[in-house]
């Protein structure tokens, strides 16, 4: 038995590549459809976990009460229908390696409850120290009284050793978040005083 071999022509090569491409496209589409749901669920869980890290306990789903302003996402958290605070997913492009994002939690009076690093590519052993206890210096500070700038620039923030650029960028991200909170929450909900 001899199998008949297709002649090696341009037309046959193009058809072969076309069938292979169609098969691979179908396989990729199938894998995408299988993984899309679990990926979205995982991202939502990560989002909620970051919100829990920066705010007091809440009983609503803040991801259902979110507002986007200038690329920042503000989440409203309540407990028994009373406002407990806002979490803001904020970012900066001023890091040593460019972009990074953090979650900042604000109490109703504008005090920073906590911050959490979401995504960063800063230098290992230097700028990535923002994920350590260094970030705790922002906890329970109100930007009305606590100047969000490194001490080298006349502020109240202790910079990460050998990473002043990252420290300045972290402050920049928090300032962006703080500036949008009153615009979304309004004077009734926010509890911020207009002193």
- Closest C-alpha among 87, 81, 74 to residue 60: 81
The reply to whether 16 falls in a domain is no
153 pLDDT more than 60 = yes
For position 182, what pLDDT does the model report? 59
The reply to whether 10 falls in a domain is no
- C-alpha 165/C-alpha 163 separation (Å) is 5
- C-alpha 60/C-alpha 77 separation (Å) is 6
Q: What digits encode the pLDDT tens for the residues 56-89?
A: 999 999 988 889 999 999 999 999 999 999 999 9
> Order of strands, edge to edge, in the sheet holding 82-95?
66-69, 72-79, 82-95, 98-106, 112-119
- C-alpha 131/C-alpha 27 separation (Å) is 39
The reply to whether 7 falls in a domain is no
Q: How many Cβ atoms are within 10 Å of 48's Cβ, its own excluded?
A: 16
Please report where in the chains the tokens 């260094």 appear, as a residue.
134
For position 193, what pLDDT does the model report? 35
Q: Which domain holds residue 103?
A: 54-190
Q: What digits encode the pLDDT tens for the residues 157-194?
A: 999 888 899 999 999 999 999 998 854 444 444 333 33
For position 124, what pLDDT does the model report? 78
Mean pLDDT of 142-159: 93
For position 42, what pLDDT does the model report? 83
How many domains, the chain? 1
The reply to whether 145 falls in a domain is yes
108 pLDDT more than 80 = yes
**Residues 177, 90 contacting (CB under 8 angstroms):** yes
Could you tell me the two tokens for 125? Answer: 């052993």
The reply to whether 12 falls in a domain is no
The reply to whether 127 falls in a domain is yes
Q: How many Cβ atoms are within 10 Å of 95's Cβ, its own excluded?
A: 25
The reply to whether 136 falls in a domain is yes
123 pLDDT more than 80 = no
Q: How many Cβ atoms are within 10 Å of 5's Cβ, its own excluded?
A: 6
Q: What is the pTM of this model?
A: 0.73
| CA R_g for the chain | 24
15 pLDDT tier (thresholds 50, 70, 90) = confident
- Closest C-alpha among 131, 140, 53, 42 to residue 89: 53
Phi, psi of 79 (to 5 degrees): -135, 125
Mean pLDDT of 9-32: 88
Pairing relationship of beta strands 66-69 and 72-79 according to DSSP bridges: antiparallel
For position 189, what pLDDT does the model report? 42
Contacts of 99 (CB under 8 A, 6+ apart): 91, 92, 93, 119, 121
């Amino acid at each position: 038995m001899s199998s008949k071999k297709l002649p090696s022509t341009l037309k046959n090569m193009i058809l072969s590549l076309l069938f292979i491409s169609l098969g691979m496209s179908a396989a990729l589409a199938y894998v995408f459809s299988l993984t899309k749901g679990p990926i979205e669920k995982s991202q939502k869980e990560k989002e909620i976990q970051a919100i829990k890290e920066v705010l007091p306990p809440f009983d609503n789903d803040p991801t259902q009460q979110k507002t986007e302003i200038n690329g920042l996402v503000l989440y409203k958290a309540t407990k028994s229908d009373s406002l407990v605070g806002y979490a803001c997913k904020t970012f900066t492009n001023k890091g040593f390696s460019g972009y990074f994002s953090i979650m900042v939690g604000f109490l109703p009076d504008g005090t920073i409850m906590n911050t959490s690093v979401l995504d960063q590519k800063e230098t290992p052993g230097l700028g990535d120290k923002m994920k350590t206890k260094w970030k705790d210096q922002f906890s329970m500070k109100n930007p009305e009284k606590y100047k969000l700038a490194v001490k080298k620039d006349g502020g109240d923030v202790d910079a990460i050793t050998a990473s002043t650029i990252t420290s300045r960028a972290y402050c920049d991200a928090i300032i962006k978040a703080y500036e949008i909170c009153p615009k979304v929450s309004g004077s009734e909900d926010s509890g911020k005083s207009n002193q």
